[in-house]
Chains A and B, each alone.
Chain A
Amino acid sequence: MTAPAIERSAATKRLRSVGAAREFGILLALVLVVLAATIANPNFLFSADGWRDLLLTPAILVLVAIGQAIVIITRNVDLSVGSILGLSAYLTGRLFVDLQGIPIIVVFVIAVGFGALLGLVNGALVAFAKVPAMVITLGTLYAYRGINVLWTGSDRINASDLPKSFLALGTGQILYIPILTIIALVVLIAAAWFMKNTRGGREFYAIGSDPAAAELYGLRVTRRLLIAFALSGALSGLAGVLYAARYGTISSQAGAGWELDAVGAAVIGGVAITGGVGSVWGAAIGAVLLLTINRALPILGIPDFWQRAVVGALIIGAIVLDRVLAVRAKRRLIEAREEDR
């Protein structure tokens, strides 16, 4: 950047700590949920299955939520992630069925590339046609799902169609950490580093904070948008492969409704739906919280019919709390700025 280095004022520091506080709050909520469930039933944490499920269940959604967070940070939204996930998952199954003996790594590459391509279609429509992303991706949500239904029909990929070594990936562990969780963590760390430290990552924030200003400033907005949507698509594609590995059954409805979970995870994790604010860490923790709540409620003995309502209340609660904290922080920020003068 050509601008002179700005001296870090107290205000900037506080701004940073506010960002961290949002993620910390969500993390605290997560710890509370795990604690409550474990007290109610020690197996939730202290059995081999419980420990594995705690780490394994959110891994796939974490990937989708990371992509979603990047797109939302640019003041867009990607509603087609669930459909991309479903198509990639079915593609994964078909590759194993139609090309017997295909190396697993090749399947990963093809599915991620396929997801990126579908994401690129979204990005191109949003960036060139200048139509709001919500409308475009709502369209591709149905279009991609339609292609999936057309392709799959009433057929289904079954566990017996997939190689054992691939299925083992879905539940296997290295040093008590599930492989899927390790993949998600590696992607998370890479994405967080990219968003925090690279020019490209910071430009996403700049575009999301004020698209018009970003354009005037000379940022290559179109290219950035294409990259953001392609990243989201690629991560959904990767999630599709992992979905196939974990569930072993892929119908034409795989991943239906995931877009809402992904947006929910990002928003719970402190990614502002108006763009420019938040981090992929927050979105990832949001994803873990969302799915862990889902798993904890039955164990806490909350009747099936009430569970959804409780999840909804918790989402609203998290957002209200978040909002209260943000408003309070903003007030303090203004006060601090006054003091600085």
Chain B
Amino acid sequence: MFEHKRRAGALTALAVGVALLATGCAVDSGSEGGSDGGSGDSANLAITFLPKNLGNPYFDTSSTGAKEAIDEFGGTFAEVGPAEATPDAQVSYINTLTQQGVGAIAVSANDPEAICDALNEARDANVKVVTFDSDTNADCRDVFINQADAEGIAKVQVDLVADQIGGAGEIAILSASANATNQNAWIEMMEEYLASDYPDITLVETVYGDDDDQTSFDKTAALLQTHPELKGIISPTTVGISAAARYLSTSDYKGKVALTGLGTPNQMREYVEDGTVTAFALWNPADLGYLAAYASKALIEGDITGAEGDSFEAGKLGDYEVGADGVVLLGDPFEFNADNIGDFDF
């Protein structure tokens, strides 16, 4: 019964999606002349943010940063987006923005492929396209604002744990699943960085919690029991770090074994406040939105074109350079601790 309903729902959604696509294209092809009007002046600083979905605290934070930046340079900020983060949900919004002739669209792509055609039509109409947080294919946008690179993510976590355990002792890693591509790449870099910069720290074991609360719990317990000398745990996955923190917070090891890794402030607030966790890392979505806004401005004003080596200025964040494939790197991940966690809600 439910299955039927769901299938019917999916069919309806598909039909609506197709209809939207069809009408979107039809209207578009007829209005090529009109869309030039908006960008006739030297700088049309109307920048619209199109997150994956609305009502998502992560993107609420990035939009706050974007609005701050746009207010600084006197542009017009707007935000539109679908309620659901489905692959083709953003297409109709992009088409509408193209017709409105905005200066730039900053989009976090739900799908690298599905919105490509719509974005390229927008670019043909002289709308600049910036992707942030989640990229499309490189030929569908002008620049991509990358929140963090693997090296920076690996380095910040090792630095944090080294700082918390005093630069020497045994540590372990609680990862996601054994075949998680991102985590494995980070762990490999962490091992290299540990070997080169922290010879006194020994990585005794890497265990896999499968991004499952129960498994992560049990693996944390086993780590603590098997390695009585353990001084720190790194968990480069949001599920793992919160499960490990929950376990630690009610165990004898609270405050004795350091825990750090990648987590979100809402998830970790409880454990930072009760002293289980001193500091953890993740990028700051507000900075991400801020930088995306300044990149949009630079594109609109013609300071950059998205070519490698272009550079632009981004307010309080300083100067940035466009790297290979039009990627701009936000910088090192942001460190959350007891002093600043109250400022974030995502």
The one of A41, A154, A247, A305 that contacts B225, using a Cβ cutoff of 8 Å? A41
Is there an interface contact between A49 and B224, defined as CB atoms closer than 8 Å? yes
Tell me which residues across on chain B come within 8 A of A281, comparing CB atoms.
none
- How far apart sit A253 and B23, CA to CA, in the bound complex (Å)? 37
Is there an interface contact between B246 and A298, defined as CB atoms closer than 8 Å? no
**What does the 1/0 interface line of A113-143 toward B look like (CB < 8 Å)?**
0000000000001000000000000011011
- The chain B residue with its CB closest to the CB of A301 is B226
CB of A9 within 8 Å of the partner chain = no
Tell me which residues across on chain B come within 8 A of A50, comparing CB atoms.
225
Tell me which residues across on chain A come within 8 A of B217, comparing CB atoms.
57, 247
12 A–B pairs (Cβ distance < 8 Å), ordered by A: A50-B225, A140-B2, A154-B56, A156-B267, A158-B266, A159-B271, A160-B269, A160-B270, A171-B250, A294-B218, A304-B178, A305-B178
Which residues in B have some Cβ–Cβ distance to A below 8 Å? 1-3, 6, 53, 56, 84-85, 178, 206-208, 212-215, 217-219, 221-226, 228, 239, 242-243, 246, 250-253, 266-267, 269-271, 273
Besides A146-B2, A158-B266, A247-B246, 12 more A-B contacts (Cβ < 8 Å) are A44-B225, A50-B225, A144-B2, A153-B84, A158-B269, A158-B270, A171-B250, A249-B242, A249-B267, A256-B212, A257-B212, A304-B207
Tell me which residues across on chain B come within 8 A of A44, comparing CB atoms.
225
Please list the 7 inter-chain residue pairs (A to B) with the smallest Cβ-Cβ separation, ordered nearest first. Answer: A143-B2, A298-B222, A159-B270, A171-B250, A160-B270, A160-B269, A247-B213
Tell me which residues across on chain B come within 8 A of A47, comparing CB atoms.
225, 252
Given contacts A143-B6, A158-B269, contact A304 B239 (CB under 8 A): no
Report how many A-B pairs have Cβ atoms within 8 Å. 95
- How far apart sit A294 and B215, CA to CA, in the bound complex (Å)? 9
Tell me which residues across on chain B come within 8 A of A299, comparing CB atoms.
222, 225-226
Identify the interface centre among B1, B221, B251, B252: most chain A CB within 10 Å of its CB.
B221
Chain B at the A interface: mostly helix, strand, loop or mixed?
helix
Is there an interface contact between B252 and A49, defined as CB atoms closer than 8 Å? yes
Tell me which residues across on chain A come within 8 A of B225, comparing CB atoms.
41, 43-44, 47, 49-50, 299
- How far apart sit A291 and B217, CA to CA, in the bound complex (Å)? 12
Query: How many chain A residues touch the partner (CB < 8 A)?
Result: 39
Tell me which residues across on chain B come within 8 A of A49, comparing CB atoms.
221, 224-225, 251-253
Given contacts A49-B224, A156-B267, contact A139 B3 (CB under 8 A): yes
Is there an interface contact between B239 and A249, defined as CB atoms closer than 8 Å? yes
- The chain B residue with its CB closest to the CB of A295 is B218
**What does the 1/0 interface line of A278-313 toward B look like (CB < 8 Å)?**
000000000000010011001101001100000000
Tell me which residues across on chain B come within 8 A of A144, comparing CB atoms.
2
CB of A48 within 8 Å of the partner chain = yes
Is there an interface contact between A160 and B266, defined as CB atoms closer than 8 Å? yes
- How far apart sit A47 and B226, CA to CA, in the bound complex (Å)? 12
- The chain A residue with its CB closest to the CB of B218 is A295
Tell me which residues across on chain A come within 8 A of B252, comparing CB atoms.
47-49
CB of A248 within 8 Å of the partner chain = yes
- How far apart sit A158 and B107, CA to CA, in the bound complex (Å)? 28
Is there an interface contact between B246 and A248, defined as CB atoms closer than 8 Å? yes
Given contacts A48-B252, A159-B242, A305-B178, contact A139 B222 (CB under 8 A): no
Q: How far is the CB of A168 from chain B (nearest CB, A)?
A: 9
- How far apart sit A44 and B224, CA to CA, in the bound complex (Å)? 10
Q: How far is the CB of B324 from chain A (nearest CB, A)?
A: 30
**What does the 1/0 interface line of A68-108 toward B look like (CB < 8 Å)?**
00000000000000000000000000000000000000000
Tell me which residues across on chain B come within 8 A of A301, comparing CB atoms.
226
- How far apart sit A304 and B208, CA to CA, in the bound complex (Å)? 7
Tell me which residues across on chain A come within 8 A of B267, comparing CB atoms.
156, 158-159, 249
**What does the 1/0 interface line of A31-54 toward B look like (CB < 8 Å)?**
000000000010110011110010
The one of A48, A53, A146, A294 that contacts B6, using a Cβ cutoff of 8 Å? A146
